Structure 1
Amino acid sequence: MAGSDVTRQVDCLRGFREGGAMAHVAPTVTAIEIGELGERLSALRLRSPDALREMEQSLSRHGQLVAVVCNRQAGTVEVVDGFKRLIGARALGWSALRAEIHEVTGPAAKLLLWQSNARQTLTDLEEAWLVRALYREDRLNQPQIAQLVGRHKSWVCRRLVLAEGLTSEVESDVRLGLLSATVAREVGRLPRGNQEKAAQVIARKGMTTRQATRLVDQLVAAGDEAARAAVITAAERASTPAAERAPRRAPVTPGEAMIADAAALSFRAARLQARLLERPLVSLGPEVEQVVIGRLGELRAVVEALCRTLTQVGAMSAASAPNGEVSHGG
């Protein structure tokens, strides 16, 4: 996009934010089929299980009280605000939702998301994702973004650093609910190569924000990789009985190897599922989409074969157990 085009677009968006001409185009309020609603912007939002459960209960008891906010783009209607309502309606088997449709596209849709959440406040990480989308997808520079959202340029810079600094693995952990957005902000202070290990320890230990901050402080202060590894090891051993503090070793028996493989597979499967749910494959671009679809097809064949094997092994174990029951010990 040429520089003059960007400037004109920003001036127009500023008018939209400040109540100018664009703001006087009244949105259309209508019922729309749930299957027709796009969720491209859902990648900019977090959805906690508790909040989703509360929304589903509210919809069940009171019905839809507030319309979902949408924009019309490229012949489709995209949800801008109201993703919890959409998910709750799907869970309840609803066929349609009341939608407030705005005739805006591109960065104006993201600005509408910002305005729709002005009162309830986005998390720092959601703000960071929004800033990154305006910067990367819409090619706006930091001063332009600052003008649009009514914040200082330093605020935009900090949010962009947060979004760009986190690894995709840590972002997936946040979307899965393994890490809070606040803890992810702390983890983002670490070099990208150290983030995943720290995040795993924080999630596995169930650390509070204060504990996670202390761990990150220690890792930042560590002078080299050996020192950082020692900090991680100490964190892993913390609050662990002495009998369990033997040095970790690779599995040596077939049973240990199976347990380790099952644990690793479960972790990766959960992460892949989160990535698949956070954005449609078409958003990756046609070339990448085809590669991903091919890999997922190969994975499906492997998973189906594994499921058949698990069923077969389970049946064999059941048949060999006393009275046809699987023994669980204890």
Structure 2
Amino acid sequence: METENQIKEVDTHLLDLRYSHTRIKNDKILVTLTNSIQAYGQIVPVLAISEQERYILIDGYKRLAALKACGRDCITLELTDAEEHDSLFTLLAQNNERKLEAIEQAALIQELHGRFSSSFSEIATRLGRNKSWVKRRLDLIESLPEEVYRAVMTGKLSSWAASRILVPLARANEQDCLELTKKIIKDPLSTRELVQLYKHYGKSNRTVRDRIIANPSLFTKTTKEQDEKKSGKQLNEGPEGKWFKNISIVCHMLKRLKATSEDVLYPNQDKHNRRRCQMWLSDAESLIVELKKEAEVTA
């Protein structure tokens, strides 16, 4: 028979905050919680387990920070009889309600795997996931340089930027990752700007990459100006300009096909490939004839 968890109020100095490093600091959420507690008090108890004369805080680190910001030294907690590692599993399994960031999940999984020797298979099974998901979560932490990880956990960088941009960048070039982190902490970029920067970085040579990393804000500003100029030009030229550009692209492609035709059209060629070539050439010819007719009719 299951027993109900005990609700009690204790002094905050009795809390063991051994999992504080697994939570990301968020000033906006802290302000919201602080205002709520000042107005209505602590409504939802934090979750803890008892250990000798102290209480290990499992969930509720943001509420604790808000209570301290209000100058309160007592906290209402819900005591669970579950084992410590079981409590961590429960917290992770309830993520839809708790809304843990991906890196916070990764930090808790690291605790389960490292401190409690839980295997990837056990973690995956108990969380209703597969081992690949567990490994990907751990990789978020293991792939990030320590300085970048600390920046995320202290709220200087978003978890999204870390997982989508900085993790893959660190795998490719750790030094570039560190440099970019320093720059965007000092001069933050929007999500759209970071995505655009990373795309350009991926397809650029070393010289251009160095320029991007050296001054990401200047890069995004220049790119934005170029995009606006291009958009203005397209608007000015209208559909005719776009059509002329497309037909010029077709002509250039046809020139490249002509230059390489000897490589694909030759005596004693396989009949199947020859028929395919003839079919596509016939289709292209038909389309060009139709366009010419339309141009003559509307002249």
Q: Same fold (TM over 0.5)?
A: yes
Residue aligned with 2:169, SS: coil
How much has 1:223 moved relative to structure 2? Answer: 5.7
TM-score by length of 2: 0.66
Is 1:56 paired with 2:34? yes
The 1-side partners of 2:59 and 2:210 are apart by 42
Partner of 2:118: 140
| Per-residue Cα deviation, 1:85-124 (whole angstroms, up to 9, x for no partner) | 2112112222311110112334213113224543242112
Partner of 2:214: 233
Using the aligned pairs only, state the percent identity: 24
Q: Compared with structure 1, are the counterparts of its residues 210 and 148 closer, same or farther at alpha carbon in structure 2 (3 Å cutoff)?
A: same
The 2-side partners of 1:221 and 1:138 are apart by 43
Partner of 2:159: 181
Residue aligned with 1:32, SS: strand
| Amino acid paired to 2:75 | L
| Amino acid paired to 2:114 | R
| Amino acid paired to 1:232 | I
State how 1:27-176 maps to structure 2 within 5 Å.
Answer: 27-73=5-51, 75-176=53-154
Partner of 1:6: none
The 1-side partners of 2:55 and 2:94 are apart by 17
The 2-side partners of 1:216 and 1:42 are apart by 31
The 2-side partners of 1:75 and 1:105 are apart by 16
The 2-side partners of 1:132 and 1:195 are apart by 23
The 1-side partners of 2:116 and 2:177 are apart by 28
Residue aligned with 1:26, SS: coil
The 2-side partners of 1:118 and 1:239 are apart by 35
How much has 1:209 moved relative to structure 2? Answer: 1.5
Is residue 169–residue 176 contact of structure 2 (8 Å, CA) maintained in 1?
yes
| Per-residue Cα deviation, 1:189-222 (whole angstroms, up to 9, x for no partner) | 1133332111122233321112212323344445
Q: Compared with structure 1, are the counterparts of its residues 194 and 106 closer, same or farther at alpha carbon in structure 2 (3 Å cutoff)?
A: farther
Is residue 190–residue 219 contact of structure 1 (8 Å, CA) maintained in 2?
no
| Per-residue Cα deviation, 1:1-41 (whole angstroms, up to 9, x for no partner) | xxxxxxxxxxxxxxxxxxxx8xx243221111111012111
Residue aligned with 1:238, SS: helix
The 2-side partners of 1:42 and 1:239 are apart by 36
Q: Compared with structure 1, are the counterparts of its residues 221 and 57 closer, same or farther at alpha carbon in structure 2 (3 Å cutoff)?
A: same
How much has 1:57 moved relative to structure 2? Answer: 0.8
TM-score by length of 1: 0.60
The 2-side partners of 1:115 and 1:25 are apart by 20
Partner of 2:199: 217
Is residue 132–residue 160 contact of structure 1 (8 Å, CA) maintained in 2?
yes
The 2-side partners of 1:26 and 1:240 are apart by 58
How much has 1:152 moved relative to structure 2? Answer: 1.9
Q: CA RMSD of the aligned region, Å?
A: 2.3
Partner of 1:198: 180
Could you tell me which runs of 5 or more consecutive residues in structure 1 were left unpaired when the two chains were aligned: 1-20, 242-330
| Amino acid paired to 2:27 | P
The 2-side partners of 1:227 and 1:133 are apart by 40
| Amino acid paired to 1:79 | L
Partner of 1:266: none
| Amino acid paired to 1:228 | R
Q: Compared with structure 1, are the counterparts of its residues 239 and 190 closer, same or farther at alpha carbon in structure 2 (3 Å cutoff)?
A: closer
Is residue 36–residue 77 contact of structure 1 (8 Å, CA) maintained in 2?
yes
Q: Compared with structure 1, are the counterparts of its residues 50 and 234 closer, same or farther at alpha carbon in structure 2 (3 Å cutoff)?
A: closer
The 2-side partners of 1:196 and 1:235 are apart by 13
Is residue 189–residue 216 contact of structure 1 (8 Å, CA) maintained in 2?
no
How many positions carry a matched residue from both structures?
A: 218
How much has 1:63 moved relative to structure 2? Answer: 0.9
The 1-side partners of 2:177 and 2:214 are apart by 15
The 1-side partners of 2:32 and 2:200 are apart by 38
Pick which of 51-60 and 150-159 moved more.
150-159
Q: Compared with structure 1, are the counterparts of its residues 205 and 95 closer, same or farther at alpha carbon in structure 2 (3 Å cutoff)?
A: closer
The 2-side partners of 1:28 and 1:97 are apart by 14
Q: Compared with structure 1, are the counterparts of its residues 208 and 102 closer, same or farther at alpha carbon in structure 2 (3 Å cutoff)?
A: same
The 2-side partners of 1:160 and 1:235 are apart by 28
